[in-house]
Amino acid sequence: MFEVIPSDSSCGATIRGLDLRLPRSAELLSQLRKTWLTHQVIAVAGQDLAIADLERITLEFGPRSEDPFIAPIPGHQHVVEVRREAHERTKLFAENWHSDWSFLPRPPAATALYDKV
């Protein structure tokens, strides 16, 4: 199915051997969700995703919510771009651990991030 490599920290795991671009069975989604709930944070290594892939996998985990402060990418209501160019020297935004939108009456259960260097 896929390999789970727990981190040395109190939470988190890396998943290897899973291509998020491919269709997922109900069983695979159940195992992926169980891994997320067990480790609280998962990183799925080796992905090369399009915006449509991001939208599809997040919907498989449940309904998405609106971001109350950040404008989405045009045509993709639930995707925002957070970009930092190599030449930028300003302090990093939200570089420490935090929970997105925890002040909302019904905060989201999770946030999905996709890193592209």
Asked, for residue 58, whether it belongs to a domain, the answer is no
Asked, for residue 60, whether it belongs to a domain, the answer is no
Q: Whole-number mean pLDDT of the chain? A: 90
Domain count, the chain: 2
- Is the pLDDT reported for residue 110 higher than 80? yes
- Over residues 43-66, the mean pLDDT reads 92
- Over residues 49-56, the mean pLDDT reads 94
- Is the pLDDT reported for residue 98 higher than 90? no
Do residue 73 and residue 114 come from a single domain? Answer: yes
Asked, for residue 81, whether it belongs to a domain, the answer is yes
Give the model's pLDDT for residue 4. Answer: 98
- Domain that includes residue 26, residue range: 3-48
Do residue 115 and residue 72 come from a single domain? Answer: yes
pLDDT digits 0-9 by tens, 63-76: 888 787 889 999 99
Residues 15 and 44 sit within 8 Å (Cβ to Cβ):
yes
Instruction: List CB contacts of 104: < 8 A, sequence separation 6 or more.
Output: 65, 68
